[in-house]
Amino acid sequence: MVKVYLHTSTFEKVVTDSYDQSYYLSDFNTIISSNKLDFYISDLVLNEINEFKDENIRNAILEILKKYTNIKTIITEEIKKNEIYLLAEKYVSMGLIPKEKITSSYHVAFSAIYQMGIFISWLFPPWDYNDLLININKINNELGYKYPYEIDTPAQLRDLTNGYRKKILKLIEDY
C-alpha cells in the first residue's frame, strides 16, 4: 500500500478556508476514504497543531484526527532526528525550500526518510511542484533515499483515475 504523509497545511486548509471549506473537505474525505493509500502524520504535525494559537482551529483539526482512525502517527525515532535535520538543511541550502519555511523542510525530509510515497500539502504553489519534485528526488537519490517520491495537493491527489496518477501509484506500490 502507498504511504501518504499529510502535512499540517492539509488539515489547516480544511478548517480555516471558509470560502472553499466544503470543497477542501470534499477533497479531504475523498482522499482519506481511499483504500489504495495508507495515511500518516508525524509528531511534527501534532506539535504544530498543538501550537495553534486559535483554539477553535486546533480543536477542529484534532476532531478530524479522531474521526479518521486510519491516519497513523509516527513518532520520530531519536536516531533519525539528525538525519531529518541534515536533509532539511540540504533542501534549504540548495534553494529548493526557502529558509523561512525551514519547518516545512523538516516535514519533506521526514517523509523522504520514512519512505512516504506521497507528500500532501498546500505548502507549495502547484505550478512549482514539478521542478521541486525533480530536485528533491535528485537530492534524495544522491544521498541514498531512493524511494520514489511525489508531492501533491489534496486536489491533485483526488483524481486517482487519470493515467499519470495510476503510473505514480503503481511505481510506488511496486518499489
pTM for this one?
0.85
pLDDT tens for the chain, 175 residues: list them.
Answer: 788 899 998 888 777 765 455 556 666 677 777 777 889 999 999 999 999 999 999 999 999 899 888 899 999 999 999 999 999 999 999 998 889 989 999 999 999 999 998 888 877 665 566 788 888 989 999 999 887 777 777 666 665 545 455 555 665 566 5
CA dihedral 134, 135, 137, 143 (to 10 degrees): 160
Compute how many other C-beta atoms are within 10 angstroms of the C-beta atom of residue 68: 14
Return the closest-CA partner of residue 39 out of 137, 127, 157, 122: 157
93, part of any domain: no
Residue 89 within a domain? no
Judge whether 14 lies within some domain.
Answer: yes
Q: Which domain holds residue 38?
A: 2-76+115-174
Whether residue 72 is contained in a domain is answered as yes
Judge whether 26 lies within some domain: yes
Query: How many domains is the chain partitioned into structurally?
Result: 1
> Would you say 175 and 3 are in contact if contact means Cβ atoms under 8 Å apart?
no
Distance of alpha carbon 161 from alpha carbon 166, whole angstroms: 6
The CATH number assigned to the domain holding 142 equals: 3.40.50
- Strand pairing class (2-6; 118-120): parallel
